[in-house]
Amino acid sequence: MIPVAGYVGQSVGVLGLGRSGLSAARSLRAGGAEALCWDDNPDARAKAEAEGFECLDLGKEAVMSRLSALVVSPGIAHLYPEPNRVVAAALLAGVPVDNDIGLFFASLGSGAWVELDVPPRVVAVTGSNGKSTTSALIAHLIESAGKTAQLAGNIGRGVLDIDEPLSGDVIVLELSSYQTELARALTPDIAVFTNLSPDHLDRHHGMGGYFAAKRRLFAEGGPDRAVIGVDENEGMFLDNQLSAGQGDDRVIRISVERKLTGHGWNVYAKKGFLAEWRKGRQVASIDLREVKGLPGAHNHQNACAAYAVCRALGIAPRDIEKGFHSFKGLPHRSQLIAEAAGISYVNDSKATNVDAAYMALRAFENIRWICGGLEKEGGLSGLQDALGHVKKAYVIGREAAQFAMQLKGVEAEVCTTMEKAVEAAMRDALEGDVVLLAPAAASFDQYDSFEKRGDDFSQEVLKRL
């Protein structure tokens, strides 16, 4: 646990008592603060009370007047589409609003940390797609090279739940736009921007607000080194803002769409080969084609980002390459479930938006595609260029028929349920085919989470093999 610094003897409100909220409450208490908690869910309040926390309606003026700060969980709206009532009360009362990420960075360097021979370093990863795989891959590569890493944030443990780091440790954080937008302190040593595509637009009032939330990690934090995906205009713009010129190697540019051979520090992947260029010369190359845990161009982008971070940490290319081959991938992200009779079964339930599904479709050929769910803004037109890889679509979700109508030029079968979709896809699949779950939609019309949806797919496949 990381004790929160700066609030000894003060009362701090904690709004939302999920994983990050309870973790923040515990760390505030460990740092000498009084954590006053609230969640609209009575079961969540009961859990907090069982740990000895006082639960009070933080929106009441008498309670809000006691608070030195309000810590908000990432799922709670603080600005758009409109502030939660407790957040609105804090804004009106002038109570600083923060989150657990802000508390973590504000506490960085306090206590025993300052006495370590080699200060721990923090790598923070943000972007639209690939954050989880990139973060997990970075941690894996660090550990496979014989060093110590802890993975936290939007993946793994809550950021304040990690163990107090030892000399030379690396902390790898996956940060969503909800987390970067609200954190009052953001000071990573290395910050990563993978890519940007439309997502969470209601929470950020459009693409401009969404990009601005991501950009804060770099503009507010001033990392010593930035790894920037430059395959979208936003990444190119961010690179331009952070770099002092072509030879500035504080920015490492990454791409899977073009060669980057300029005079700065560049890492790119083309046709399955990763190349590192520095000062206009190629210094390393890795064949990614046989790395089973990282299939497709989208995973090659993740590999480029992780490679760049590890090189910035001083890890040799041969050690990174060895780590690539031992990486098994993450559940629900291009996860190979089974292979039987020449047919592969792949779970990419995390492909909850069009861009992620596009990347998944581009990664394979001869696809029996299970898709559908709660459609996000923008429609499905962005998938068109990848639909040539699809032999047939099997559509799930409450609005399956409407979803299927948007798949121009693709044979589609309306299945509605996962059970029927898997049964139909396995009935039709031939040797060399890939049965792929890449929904291009959220799961909440039928499942509590994308993990539940992916588990259902896996269970339906495995019970039939």
Consult the annotation and say whether 293 binds a ligand.
no
Tokens of residue 256, six digits: 């899977």
Q: Does 130 show up as a binding residue in the annotation?
A: yes
Give the burial string for 191-209 (b: 16+ CB within 10 Å, else e).
bbbbbbbbbbbebbeeeeb
CB 305 within 8 A of CB 225: no
**Residues 70, 58: contact at Cβ < 8 Å?**
yes
> Is 128 annotated as ligand-binding?
yes
129 is in an annotated binding site: yes
Q: Give the whole-angstrom CA distance, residue 378 versus residue 198.
A: 8
According to the annotation, is 127 in a ligand binding site?
Answer: yes
CB burial class (10 A; 0-12, 13-18, 19+) of residue 82?
Answer: exposed
- How crowded is residue 173: how many other Cβ atoms within 10 Å of its Cβ? 28
At which residue do the structure tokens 């596009």 appear?
358
413 contacts 393 by C-beta, under 8 angstroms: yes
Provide the 10 A C-beta neighbour count for residue 253. Answer: 24
Sequence-ordered list of residues with C-beta below 8 angstroms from that of 240, at least 6 positions apart, any chain = none
Task: List Cα–Cα distances, 74 to 77, 102, 154, in angstroms.
Answer: 8, 12, 10
Nearest to 242 by CA among 265, 264, 221, 219: 219
Binding residues for ATP: 127-133
